[in-house]
Amino acid sequence: MALNTLLATFLCTIVLPVLLFLVALKLWEVYMIRGRDPSCTSPLPPGSMGLPFIGETLQLILQRRKFLRMKRQKYGYIYRTHLFGNPTVRVTGADNVRQILLGENRLVSVQWPASVRTILGSDTLSNMHGAQHKTKKKAIMQAFSTEALELYIPVIQEEVQAAVEQWVAKDSCVLVYPEMKRLMFRIAMRILLGFEPEQIKTDEQQLVEAFEEMIKNLFSLPIDMPFSGLYRGLKARNFIHSKIEENIKKKVQESDKESKHRDALQQLIDSSKNNGEPFSMQAIKESATELLFGGHETTASTATSLVMFLGLNPEVVDRLRQELIEKEEQGMDLHSLNIESLEQLKYTGCVIKETLRINPPVPGGFRVALKTFELNGYQIPKGWNVIYSICDTHDVAEMFPNKEDFQPERFMTKPSGDSSRFQYIPFGGGSRMCVGKEFAKILLKIFLVEVVTKCHWTLLNGPPTMKTGPTVYPVDNLPTKFTNYVQNLN
């Protein structure tokens, strides 16, 4: 009798819940697969839909790049999953990505996860479509014109020089990633949003911490309740908005004054007026926050990767210095750079390109299928999310032999043929290619010039483990010792 009771207890407490869980998983998988379009004869991509409702979101958040590589190895270049509350197809490889990027507004449309849309807002460039997207993009692009970029260079040099001097002066190690975020944040605040240095100094610590919190929770489950990731992200976002609003009000009051250059934020304010639209403080705040996010988070990631790769490859640093010596001998003034002189630094540009190949700061982009279509023999059902992968596409690109090696010289010759176009996409592609890519290239070139001419550095922990959240970063923050570079290029 006691044995029967024990067996019944075991079945009820252990076996039955496990069986119910397995049945729930199977029903979930069957339910999601029923989402395929019966009018299309092609099968769904291979893959797994994960747990009910949350899918494989937690695995992605916890494992990031490891999870993605594991899935690619198991299922190939196109596979299905369930992320951030939606059935999703992840796409890798130049030919597949080409169809997604060139299919904007025909096959797919941009659609970031609900948490991203909620935190950043609906009035951001990344969440707009059609004519609205074109109008806002046109306004922002004026802030990245050649004339505007030329005016940014002295500010960038000033900020980078000050940061490098501080790193060299430190007796202890420098945690490169947090320092890069602070540096790029100051540059973005001054150049993109028009903040004065005194304003930044007052609010810098609080704003940097708020951005950290917002970015950390940008990709989270869409549950807005106390202590959830989305709740914390929104709270941080609201603080950032309050500070930006102060600057917007100041700009609106001073907008009639003539100035040689208007920053990106001013361009958005002016565009709103010129189009006869009612002024929307919320829309401008959301756009400014997106600019600040895009303008400093990605460049901080890449600048950190530059320090890492150069620390691991001293022969590349030597070649960089040799290029700068040669340019100085030809009359280039490294203390007063301009766009023309920066364009002459070909090898420096190749170092940046190679860094973006191995560690693209943004791992991919989000779309939603506007209709059911076929991709490489699989159907992509209408309404499903589509993620195109930048990092995986670089990993499998045939145009890059010895992919694991850091070889900037591979970019010294321009690849021929159209087939190479989508094998290298650090800035995305199509109509939604990153609007600030030229700004990023200039900023990173100036950073390289300053850091290789002013200092030596040693990575104290060796090669770091890299994670993505949402941009690529070293888990240990890249502790590094900087010292003066004694040779004078003059």
Name the binding residues for heme: 434
Tokens of residue 405, six digits: 């090696």
Residues 6+ apart with CB under 8 A from 119: 214, 217, 218, 230, 233, 234, 237
Chain centroid to CA 315: 28
Tokens of residue 416, six digits: 């021929």
Contact 95, 348 (CB under 8 A): no
Give the burial string for 83-105 (b: 16+ CB within 10 Å, else e): bbbbbbbbbbbbebbbbbbebbe
* Nearest one of 446, 448, 420 to 355, comparing CA atoms: 448
Angle at 74 between CA 73 and CA 75, to 5 degrees: 100
Residues 6+ apart with CB under 8 A from 174: 167, 479, 480, 481, 482
- Annotated binding-site residue numbers: 434
Helix (H) or strand (E) segment spanning residue 387 = strand 385-389
Distance CA 143, CA 62 (A): 37
Neighbouring CB atoms inside 10 A of 254's CB total 11
Distance CA 428, CA 414 (A): 19
Upper half-sphere CA count for residue 129 (Cβ side, 13 Å): 11
> Which residue, chain included where needed, has tokens 């119910």?
20
In eight-state DSSP terms, residue 15 is I
Tell me the one-letter amino acid at 280: S
* Nearest one of 161, 179, 154, 477 to 338, comparing CA atoms: 154
In eight-state DSSP terms, residue 256 is T
Contact 460, 158 (CB under 8 A): no
Q: What is the dihedral of CA 438, 439, 443, 445, to 10 degrees?
A: 10
Distance CA 481, CA 456 (A): 8
Angle at 371 between CA 370 and CA 373, to 5 degrees: 125
Neighbouring CB atoms inside 10 A of 204's CB total 16
Helix (H) or strand (E) segment spanning residue 81 = strand 78-83
